Amino acid sequence: MFIDVELSEEAKADAELAKRLEEACPVDIFAARDGRTEIARENLDECVLCELCLDASPPGAVRVVKLYDGGAALER
Ligand code: SF4
């Protein structure tokens, strides 16, 4: 496991954001279920660091953490 993706509590419970994230991520790391955003943990290492999830989210909603790089994070 080299990548982790974290969501704020607000982001997890935001149905509209869940749909946007599901559409944005090219490797299906986000799933919209019952109005919530879930992380498909089995897909985490497919992350290509494209930042499309960050583009689709308000500031502070999503962090993409590079576990191999001392926990350096992509965030806005
Ligand atoms: S950086 Fe790209 S591949 Fe990684 S979780 Fe975000 S949208 Fe998906």
Look at residue 15 and tell me whether its pLDDT is greater than 90. Answer: yes
Beta-ladder partners of 37: 32
* Any ligand 1 atom below 6 A from CB of 31: no
The C-alpha atoms of residue 32 and residue 39 are separated, in whole angstroms, by 9
Residue 52 has pLDDT above 90, yes or no: yes
pLDDT band at 13 (very low <50, low <70, confident <90, very high): very high
Residue 62: pLDDT band with limits 50, 70, 90 = very high
Q: Which long-range contacts (CB under 8 A, 24 or more apart) does 34-43 make?
A: 36/12, 37/7, 37/11, 37/12, 39/5, 39/7
Tell me the average pLDDT across 20-25.
Answer: 98
Q: Can you tell me the mean pLDDT for 1-23?
A: 96
| pLDDT at residue 60, as a whole number | 97
Per-residue pLDDT, 1: 78
Q: Distance between CA atoms of 32 and 48, rounded to whole angstroms?
A: 20
Atom number of ligand 1 nearest to Cα 52:
7
Residue ID of nearest Cα to ligand 1 atom 3: 47
